[in-house]
């Protein structure tokens, strides 16, 4: 199943390509190749360092375990969350303190992960596999890596 499955503590389960395409259409983006690989193999997951929002069978998510990437991204856009006003950004995780981690889909099929929150806007990774291992702890208080 690849690198992501090996790094996972728990996964939602593989996601079919048709669901991935529907999500891209709903958000009007093209997901980076690494994120597509994660969705295909894991759906969503809890990894060593971080939870990654994803796509999964909603019928098996009771009680709720996983965050749906489409639902979270749309909700953040509606709330006016900093960073979410950029429609090319897709929320994939958060650190619980108001910082969200977004994929910048303008560089797709490559990966670029940006942390955005109160007083923070910084690129934290160009490698999703590394991000799920190292996680958001790469940020310091002043937003530097």
Q: Could you tell me which residues come within 8 angstroms of residue 64 by beta carbon, excluding any fewer than 6 positions away?
A: none
Fold designation for 3-134:
SMI1/KNR4-like (3.40.1580)
In this prediction, residue 1 carries a pLDDT of 39
In this predicted model, what pLDDT tens digit does every residue of 65-113 receive, in sequence order? Answer: 899 999 999 999 999 888 888 999 999 999 888 899 999 999 999 999 9
pTM over 0.85: yes
């Amino acid at each position: 199943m690849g690198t992501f499955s090996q790094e996972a503590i728990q996964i939602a389960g593989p996601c079919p390509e048709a669901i991935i395409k529907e999500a891209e259409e709903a958000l009007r983006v093209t997901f980076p190749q690494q994120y597509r690989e994660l969705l295909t193999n894991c759906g969503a997951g809890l990894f060593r360092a971080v939870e990654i929002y994803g796509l999964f069978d909603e019928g098996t998510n009771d009680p709720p375990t996983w965050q749906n990437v489409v639902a979270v991204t749309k909700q953040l856009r509606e709330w006016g969350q900093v960073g979410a006003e950029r429609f090319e950004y897709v929320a994939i995780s958060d650190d619980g303190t108001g910082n969200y981690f977004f994929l910048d889909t303008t560089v797709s099929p490559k990966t670029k992960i940006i942390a955005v929150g109160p007083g923070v806007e910084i690129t934290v990774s160009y490698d999703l596999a590394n991000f799920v291992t190292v996680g958001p702890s790469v940020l310091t208080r002043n937003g530097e890596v």
